[in-house]
Structure 1
Amino acid sequence: MPGEMILLTENMDLTPVTSRQIKSWTRKDPILSRVMNYVLQGWPESIADDDLRPYFTRKLELSLHDGCLLWGNRVVVPTPGQETIIQELYEGHPGVTRMKMLAHSYIWWPNMDSELENKVKTCHECQVNRHVPAEAPLHPWEWPEKPWSRVHIDYAGPLHGKMFLVCVDAHSKYMEVQVVNSATSATTIEKFRTVFATHGIPDTIVSDNGTPFTSEEFESFINRNGIRHIRVSPYQPSSNGLAERAVQTFN
């Protein structure tokens, strides 16, 4: 018996389904007890029982260790332990691909993949998350050669009934904060006039897709001042990392 198989069955005593339970269930199961006898005494040339067919097609890879059936290096889990195993694999809603990957490393029973797929299909949370695009790797921003060339902006708050327009210079990491009563496009434009009068008009501003930064009024103001406006993906607000970190620090 290969060492990794012995280690696998011994370590099952640390899991929700133990090797002792597997051994007991296998002995009492009408199908698995027959499979166990065939493994020990030899298989017939053919099998008519459909319940035995999944094991018959794997007969050359089946073995027995300490009363537990193994298919290759995977433990054959009897029916009483299958739901517990599925729940353990399902912890944290990892998705069907991750669940199958984990299961294929350690365990097996007939129709296991179908049962794992059905578990995910009947879970509302898994179906919602399934349609959320995977997060793509973020590409670092180039460092501007001069101050106030690219400015990252965001709103922080509310705090004590106020909102805070946060502007971060990508060159120096200098942070400018303007206090406002509400985060509207009109208020944002008013505060930008003050900021631009002090520091100059930037070449580029980077924002998320918040309402104050996506209105026609705001875009018109940006275009009139010859500013390039980069809006980060709605699924990747962390692309605006400078402003995001500033907001977290400010809060």
Structure 2
Amino acid sequence: MVLSLVRRIIVDGWPDRRCQLNPQIRDYWSVRDSLVIDDGVILKGNAAVIPKLLRVWYIDKLHDGHQGRVKMELRAKDAVYWPGMRNDIESKVNACQPCQFTRPANDCMELTPDHQHPVPQGP
């Protein structure tokens, strides 16, 4: 349904203002200039725009191998697109126990006088 509206607006033309759009497709406003239709498929550049029902499946496929958020985004960048994809990828990685277990830990130490270099008296 949403992609049908997007397809129609691509063919008919975008309005002058975002507020004139149907609220369901306002998320596509920021990428409107890069959306095209090729053989019935909506593309953003070379990436296919994925309908809501298939996004979980694509997230699972991108997550095969537990490569983490950055690698998932790189894999997705040229193949698929949907509004909020980065947030969905981040949520998937944050909810994955093996990814959290193998994630590098930054040991943030609090800066206390014991951990600071002495301040010189002069230049």
Does residue 107 of the first structure (1) align with residue 61 of the second (2)?
A: no
Q: CA deviation at 1:132?
A: 6.5
Q: After the TM superposition, which residues 49-198 of structure 1 pair with which residues of structure 2 at under 5 Å, given as runs?
A: 49-131=22-104
Q: Aligned to 2:4, which of 12, 33, 52?
A: 33
Question: Which runs of 5 or more structure 2 residues have no equivalent in the other structure?
Answer: 107-123
Distance 1:122 1:130 in 2: 12
Structure number with larger C-alpha Rg:
1
Distance 1:98 1:57 in 2: 24
Post-superposition CA distance 1:27-50 (Å, at most 9, x none):
xx2x21111011111111123244
Letter in 2 for 1:91: D
TM-score by length of 1: 0.39
Partner in structure 2 of residue 240 of structure 1 = none
- Greater relative CO, 1 or 2 (CA 8 Å, sep 6+): 2
* Structure richer in helix, relative to its length: 2
* Structure richer in strand, relative to its length: 1
Letter in 2 for 1:88: K
Letter in 1 for 2:76: A
Distance 1:57 1:131 in 2: 34
Partner in structure 2 of residue 45 of structure 1 = 16
Q: CA deviation at 1:67?
A: 1.3
- Structure 1 runs (4+) greater than 3 angstroms displaced: none
SS at match of 2:3: helix
Distance 2:103 2:23 in 1: 35
What RMSD over aligned residues (CA atoms) do the two structures have, in Å? 1.6
| Residues matched between the structures, number | 104
Question: Which runs of 5 or more structure 1 residues have no equivalent in the other structure?
Answer: 1-28, 134-251
Q: 1:132 to 1:46 in 2, by over 3 A?
A: closer
Letter in 2 for 1:47: R
